[in-house]
Structure formats: structure tokens, C-alpha cells
């Protein structure tokens, strides 16, 4: 599970944050990679836990389920039933607060090994520019899709982001 570790002494120590384990199974067709969970997510032990993060709203029309109204475990089950998996590009990093711009001393998750273990994976989608920049070099042999960030810090409205997120649906259909 993701965690926060204080490095150094007192209040001036640097905070090292760790990502969550992947949420995938052998039916994962779309893998969505974020950068690193924010403080609200780390505190809650859940992906995209900040109430203003638009992730669950953006994926609702893609999977045909009103995800924000469900409890967390049911949300994850709905994503997996649709063929969507989750993980992060960054395994751990130092970062004060939740801004991707503040990520330092990052170590990457082993995205290539995870991808190799997913037999029907069709695309890796990156949630935001930081995930795209840090993760695109880790992906081989599968399509990639850059998505506008679901973060409330990316102030473009949901309506402007939705068409890009809707594109995920074409990878979920069996062909």
C-alpha cells in the first residue's frame, strides 16, 4: 500500500511517498498510469481519493457505471470488469504536498514487467503530463494514449477533458 515516510529530523525532513500496488488482472485491456498518489489518496489508501479529482467522473461514461456513487472496492471491481487497470509510473519519490511539479528523486515502477504480464493489454493511457513524460519511455510493444490530467490542479473543466477520456472506450471493445 502507498505510504509516507519522513526522511531526516524534525519538521524540516523531506517526505518520501510510495505508490500503491497495481490493480490489474488477466482481462486488463487498458492500463491507466498516474504519476504518484497525492496526499489525500495516500491518507485514504485509495487511488484518486481527493474529492475534487475528476478521475471517477471521467471514467463513468466510459464504463457505463456511475462510479462516484459507489464505494471504493466496488469502483475498482467495475473498472476491472470493464477491462481497466490502474497503477502509477513513480514507485516512490520525495514530494512536499501533492503537486507533480514538486516530485524529486523519483524511482520508477517496473511498468515493462507489468505490461508483459497482461495478455490482452491494448493500450497504456497516461493520466496527465507528468505521467506521460516519466512513463512513455517505460512502455514497449503496446499503444500509448496521453490523457488530460484528472487532477483538480489541471483546471480545464470536465467537459473539455471528457472526449480524450472517452477514447479509452474504443480499446475496451473486443475486436
Q: How many residues does the chain have?
A: 175
Please confirm, yes or no, whether 53 is among the known catalytic residues: yes
Most confident of 1-5, 48-52, 117-121: 117-121
Which pLDDT does position 3 carry in this prediction? Answer: 60
Specify the pTM. 0.90
Q: What are the pLDDT digits (tens) for 10-32?
A: 444 568 999 999 999 999 999 99
Which tens digits make up the pLDDT trace of 110-146? 999 999 999 999 999 999 999 999 999 999 999 999 9
Contact 111, 72 (CB under 8 A): no
Q: Which residue out of 28, 41, 53, 151 is catalytically annotated?
A: 53
Amino acid at each position: 500500500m502507498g505510504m509516507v515516510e519522513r526522511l531526516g529530523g524534525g519538521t524540516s525532513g523531506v517526505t518520501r511517498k510510495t505508490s500503491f500496488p497495481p490493480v490489474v488482472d488477466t482481462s486488463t485491456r487498458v492500463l491507466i498510469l498516474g504519476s504518484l498518489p497525492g496526499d489525500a489518496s495516500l491518507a485514504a489508501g485509495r487511488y484518486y481519493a481527493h474529492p475534487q479529482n475528476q478521475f471517477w467522473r471521467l471514467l463513468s461514461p466510459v464504463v457505463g457505471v456511475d462510479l462516484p456513487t459507489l464505494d471504493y472496492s466496488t469502483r475498482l471491481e467495475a473498472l476491472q470488469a470493464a477491462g481497466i487497470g490502474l497503477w502509477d509510473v513513480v514507485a516512490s519519490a520525495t514530494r512536499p504536498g501533492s503537486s507533480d511539479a514538486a516530485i524529486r528523486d523519483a524511482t520508477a515502477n517496473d511498468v515493462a514487467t507489468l505490461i508483459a504480464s497482461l495478455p490482452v493489454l491494448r493500450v497504456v493511457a497516461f493520466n496527465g503530463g507528468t505521467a506521460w513524460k516519466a512513463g512513455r519511455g517505460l512502455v514497449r510493444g503496446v499503444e500509448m494514449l496521453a490523457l488530460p490530467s484528472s487532477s483538480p490542479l489541471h483546471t480545464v473543466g470536465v467537459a473539455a477533458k471528457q472526449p480524450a477520456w472517452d477514447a479509452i472506450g474504443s480499446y475496451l471493445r473486443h475486436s
